[in-house]
Amino acid sequence: MTQLILEQALNGLQFGLMLFLLAAGLTLVFGIMDMINLAHGSLYMAGAYLAAAATQASNSFVVGIGAAMLATAILGALLEITLLRRLYARNHLAQVLATFALILIANEAVRMIWGAQPVPLNAPDALSGPVNIAGFFYPAYRLLIIGVGALVAVLLYVLVTHTRLGMWVRAGASNREMTEALGINVRLLFTIVFAFGAALCALAGAMLGPLLAVQAGMGESILILAFVVIVIGGIGSIRGALVGSLLVGIVDTLGRAALPSLLSLFLSPEVASNFGPALASVLIYLLMAAILFWRPEGLFPARA
Amino acid sequence: MRPTKYLTLFATLLLVGSSVQAAEANRTSLKVGLLSTLSGPGAGLGVDIRDGFNLAVKHLNGRFGGLPAEVIVVDDQQKPEVAQQAVEKFLKKDKVDFMTGIVFSNIMLAVGPPIFDSKTFFISANAGPSQYAGEQCTPFFFNVAWQNDNLHEAVGQYVQNKGFKNVVLVAPNYPGGKDAMVGFKRFYTGRVSEEIYTKLGQLDYAAELAQIRSLKPDAVFFFLPGGMGINFIKQFVAAGLSADSQLFAPGFSADEDVIKAVGAPMLGMFNSSHWAHDMDNAENKRFVADFQKDFGRLPSLYASQGYDAALLIDAAVRDVKGKLDDKEALRKALEAKHFKSVRGDFKFNTNHYPVQNYYLRVIGRDAQGRVTNKTMGTVFTNHADAYVAQCSMK
């Protein structure tokens, strides 16, 4: 029983930390630039594909991840300079339409370059088995994901709260006009933040690639979850993104694991097996609705 | 006035006469609409069906029953609404003579009614929902593969024979997944400690695997087609569960498409199939050799089904001598099945589903050191599906 609870908690943590990598970039872009970027998931997909290609070329997973992060950051910067910059002043509908078009373009581009079938991206052989910690088994690769996710969370915290760049970012998030008036190059700041968010996307894509599948359209399902996370956490807040990610990760994992058996206690097995998985998949949306009911601005609103 | 009137009448008669003639005349060409899942996690299945079908077309020199054949390939993206649009186009614009290719039963059930209403024959190379085998059976649906439950029944029988005592079942929450669990339990009567339903298309099984670990089963039976199964096996092995639980699957989750993606961790896994690439008959040897030559990989059971679907159409068109509009004769020709399947012999039951043998395969290394399936023995001989009694074919 302890094994089960601990393992599920770690699973939730692992899923949550990966969501955080996506949500961190998304919440900064949304919070600071007031820009809804639906193509965030496409950057995640691009990162996964580039990691697969670079890993294959270099025969090293670490090199693959590094190259993918760098390349996706450049791609993100180019995207921001050429296209997204023009959308900041527009309303949200125009932004949604334009970035939705980007999703379609990105998916088709990936199909044209790599084909419709998933491309292989495997974790290093040394990490393909389980680790045994005093009789407790856990997949080594998932443990690595938890480690990387936690490290990035700490680095981001230091970066945002203890550096000058982080100060500008926070200032930009709470009052853009005032920040500009203080002589900070907000244009450049936006490009840097966007490229940084893209690199985090690539990291998430590369880390999740071996666990899930590197395929066209992989960004959409996770993008929805990332939006749920930033709405729960409060738009523009890194701390909110972290707490929101962990909440969503744990609620989703525990819901899937425990809900069907919990329901079968007081419903017939037939109904429980039908209703359980269905309810588990909407559980995080119920969580979001509940949080928005009591905290309409999210848990840690940036402009509070 | 008068001559013009006569002229009009004459012209009309001519027109009517010629159109009647056209309807009765032998056709000079035919069209097949191949609607399959060619992108997303289920893409491997559809691609193999398409490639198997196309290989047969090539072997037949581009002709079905002597008529030049046009095969129109469309991707359903594993979405019922996309499939519905494609079917609409096949029926109204392309006016296809046959349809084939659908992988997933939920999509088959969504597009079935308009196809059957238009009296177009659907030759299923995969989807075999229980509905069309039983109460909703129709003259216009033929399945050259199996009824959804069959491969699961074969695994259930084998797990029962081997005396496993505590089994966990895993399948996606959709009609095919429910059929899988029902099929397995029809022949395995021991203890099932948990039936785990996952979301269709789910790729991360961490929560389910933790649950399996806590249940300590001696066997795990899973049915997760395409990319879902690839991820499940990888994560099952990575979690260290393969040391304590024997993994069983229907052939869908342990064929060449999955082996190619997972590799060595699958060694020793048992699975069931109605066909295997090492089957010893002339048709199969030619099919396997040419498939490898054309596509650079071993064919999967899906490819064999696509191949057989094309051969069935060919044989039926030949039997009716190209008179495709005589639906009654065409149906009889399809039922008669005058072709040699790559799986050896099979015949159609009254519900247009196969009566055939099912085999047990194990994944091992072949003479060249490749990880691949090897046929172990026969589980069922001339096995029919469980729904045929409910079918009153009109």
Closest CB from B41, B204, B213 relative to A3: B213
Per-residue pLDDT averaged across A276-287, rounded? 84
| Sequence-ordered list of residues with C-beta below 8 angstroms from that of B42, at least 6 positions apart, any chain | B78, B103, B104, B225, B226, B227
Whether A111 sits inside 8 A of B39 (CB atoms) is yes
B375 and B235 co-located in one domain: yes
Q: Clarify whether residues B155 and B139 are in a common domain.
A: no
Q: Output the 3-class SS for A103-141.
A: HHHHHHHHHHHHCCCCECCCCCHHHCCEEEECCEEEEHH
Contact A238, A32 (CB under 8 A): no
Is the CB of residue A224 less than 8 Å away from at least one CB of chain B?
no
Is B47 in Cβ contact with A117 (below 8 Å)?
A: yes
Cα distances (angstroms) measured from residue A144 to each of A149, A152, B242:
8, 12, 21
**Nearest-CA residue of chain A relative to B39?**
A116
From CA A100, how far away is CA A224, in angstroms rounded? 13
Which of A7, A213, A261 shows the shortest C-beta gap to B227? A213
**ipTM field:** 0.82
Interchain CB distance below 8 Å, A139 and B240: yes
- Strand B166-172 and strand B98-100: the pairing is unpaired
| Structure-token pair, residue A170 | 């926070």
In whole angstroms, give the CA distance from residue A205 to residue A48. Answer: 4
Is some CB atom of chain A closer than 8 A to the CB atom of B48? Answer: no
B210 and B179, same domain (yes or no):
yes
Q: Residue A251's Cα: distance from chain center in Å? A: 16
Would you call B213 and A7 a contact, using CB atoms and an 8 Å cutoff? Answer: yes
Which residues in chain B have Cβ-Cβ distances shorter than 8 Å to A253? 206-207
Cβ contacts of A257 on chain B, cutoff 8 Å: 207-208, 210-211
Q: In sequence order, what are the residues at sequence separation of 6 or more whose Cβ sits closer than 8 angstroms to the Cβ of residue A230?
A: A23, A26, A27, A30, A240, A241, A244, A298
Whether chain A has a CB inside 8 Å of the CB on B265: the answer is yes
| Helix locations, chain B, DSSP H | 2-24, 43-59, 80-89, 105-117, 130-133, 150-161, 175-187, 206-215, 227-238, 256-262, 282-295, 301-319, 327-336
For residue B75, which residues of chain A lie inside 8 Å, CB to CB? 116
Which candidate in A3, A7, A127, A274 is best for mutational testing of the B interface (most B CBs within 10 A)? A7
pLDDT for A150 beyond 50 = yes
Q: Report if residue B17 sits inside a domain.
A: no
Give how many domains chain B has, as a whole number.
2
A142 HSE (CA, 13 A, CB side): 31
Structure tokens at B159: 């797990």
Q: Which of A253, A186, A213, A270 is nearest to B210 (CA)?
A: A253
Confidence bin at A304 (pLDDT 50/70/90): very low
Q: Which residues of B touch A215 (CB under 8 A)?
A: 40-41, 43, 227
Listed in sequence order, the residues at least 6 apart from B239 whose beta carbon sits closer than 8 Å to its beta carbon are A130, A137, A138, A139, B209, B210, B213
Distance from CA of A130 to the nearest CA of B (A): 5
Taking phi first (over 0 means left), then psi (-120 to 50 degrees means alpha), and beta for anything else, what does residue B192 get?
beta
Residues B76 and B126 in one domain: yes
> For residue B221, what are the β-bridge partners?
B169, B248
Å between B238 CA and nearest CA of chain A:
4
CB of B192 closer than 8 Å to CB of B219: no
Closest residue in A to B38 (Cα) is A116
- Which pLDDT does position B115 carry in this prediction? 92
CA A176 to chain centre: 25
CA distance A232 to A291: 7
Size of interface A-B (CB pairs under 8 A): 98
Which one, of A242, A245, A275, lies nearest residue A259 by Cα? A275
Residues 51-80 of A with CB under 8 A from B: none
Tell me which residue in A1, A11, A276 faces B206 most closely, judged by beta carbons: A11
Residue-level pLDDT, tens digit, chain B, 394 residues: 455 555 555 555 454 444 444 444 567 888 999 999 998 777 888 999 999 999 999 999 998 888 898 999 999 988 999 999 999 999 999 899 999 999 998 899 999 999 999 999 999 999 888 889 988 999 999 999 999 889 999 999 999 988 898 999 999 888 788 888 999 999 999 888 888 888 887 888 988 898 898 888 999 999 987 778 888 988 998 888 888 888 999 988 888 878 877 778 888 889 999 999 888 898 899 999 999 999 888 899 999 999 999 999 999 998 888 888 888 888 898 998 888 899 888 889 889 999 999 999 999 888 888 888 888 888 888 888 889 888 887 6
Report d(CA B158, CA B178) in Å as an integer: 20
Q: Tell me: do B269 and B309 sit in the same domain.
A: no
The pLDDT of A35-43, averaged and rounded, is 92
Same domain, B65 and B125: yes
For residue A137, give the nearest of B203, B231, B240 by CB distance.
Answer: B240
Q: What is the pLDDT of residue B143?
A: 93
E-state strands within chain A = 130-133, 136-139
Q: What 3-state class would DSSP assign to B239?
A: coil
Tell whether A271 lies on the interface with B, counting CB pairs under 8 A.
no
Secondary structure of residue B166 in the 3-state scheme: strand
Please give the full DSSP string across B354-384, using - where no structure is assigned: EEEEEEEEEEEE-TTS-EEEEEEEEEEEEE-
Residues 6+ apart with CB under 8 A from B349: B355, B384, B385, B388
* A278 has a pLDDT exceeding 60: yes
The total of other beta-carbon atoms located within 10 Å of residue A182's CB is 11
Please check whether residues B254 and B373 belong to one and the same domain. yes
Instruction: Give A135: exposed, middle or buried? Use CB within 10 Å, 0-12, 13-18, 19+.
Output: exposed
Query: Domain check: are B93 and B34 in the same one?
Result: yes
Tokens at A288, concatenated: 């979001």
Rounded Cα distance, A19 and A13, in Å: 10
Residue A206 pLDDT > 60, yes or no?
Answer: yes
Q: Report CB contact under 8 Å: A15, B204.
A: yes
Distance from CA of A100 to the nearest CA of B (A): 19
Q: How confident is the model at residue A62 (pLDDT cuts 50, 70, 90)?
A: very high
pLDDT number for residue B21:
42
Average pLDDT of span A213-217: 84
**Is B393 an interface residue toward A (CB < 8 Å)?**
no
The answer to whether the Cβ–Cβ distance between B197 and A3 falls below 8 Å is no
B261 touches chain A (CB under 8 A): yes
Distance from CA of A231 to the nearest CA of B (A): 24
Q: Residues B252, B338: one domain?
A: no
Q: Is B238 touching A (CB cutoff 8 A)? A: yes
Interface of A with B in 91-120 (CB under 8 A): 111, 116-118, 120
- Average pLDDT estimate for A244-254: 92
Q: What SS3 class is residue B129?
A: coil
Whether residue A9 contacts residue A250, with contact meaning beta carbons closer than 8 Å, is answered with yes
Is B264's Cβ below 8 Å from some Cβ in A?
Answer: no
Domain encompassing residue B365: 150-273+360-383
Asked if residue B286 is part of any domain, the answer here is yes
* Closest in A130, A137, A212 to B204, CB measured: A212
Query: 3-state DSSP call for residue A13?
Result: helix
Instruction: Quote the CA–CA distance of A179 and A170 in Å, as a whole number.
Output: 10
Q: Is B210 on the interface with A (CB under 8 A)?
A: yes
User: Does the predicted TM-score (pTM) go above 0.90?
Assistant: no
**Contact A124/B at CB under 8 A:** no
Q: Is B295 on the interface with A (CB under 8 A)?
A: no
- Are residues B137 and B75 both part of a single domain? yes
Question: Residue B250 has what DSSP assignment?
Answer: E
| Mean pLDDT of the A248-270 span | 81
Please provide residue B94's backbone torsions phi and psi, each rounded to the nearest 5 degrees: -80, -25
From A254, which residue of chain B is nearest by alpha-carbon distance? B207
Interchain contact, B213 vs A117, CB within 8 Å: no
Q: Provide the CATH number for the domain around residue B344.
A: 3.40.50.2300
Q: Which residue has the higher pLDDT, A133 or B385?
A: B385
Sign of the CA dihedral with B383 first, then B384, B387, and B389 last: negative
Is B35 part of a structural domain of the chain?
A: yes
Answer whether residue B2 is part of any domain: no
Q: With contacts defined as CB-CB under 8 Å, which chain B residues touch A140?
A: 238
**Are B142 and B166 in the same domain?**
no
The pair of three-digit structure tokens given for residue B267, joined into one six-digit string: 């060694």
Q: Please state which CATH class domain A2-128+139-294 belongs to.
A: mainly alpha
* pLDDT the model gives residue A45: 95
Query: Cβ of A206 under 8 Å from any chain B Cβ?
Result: no
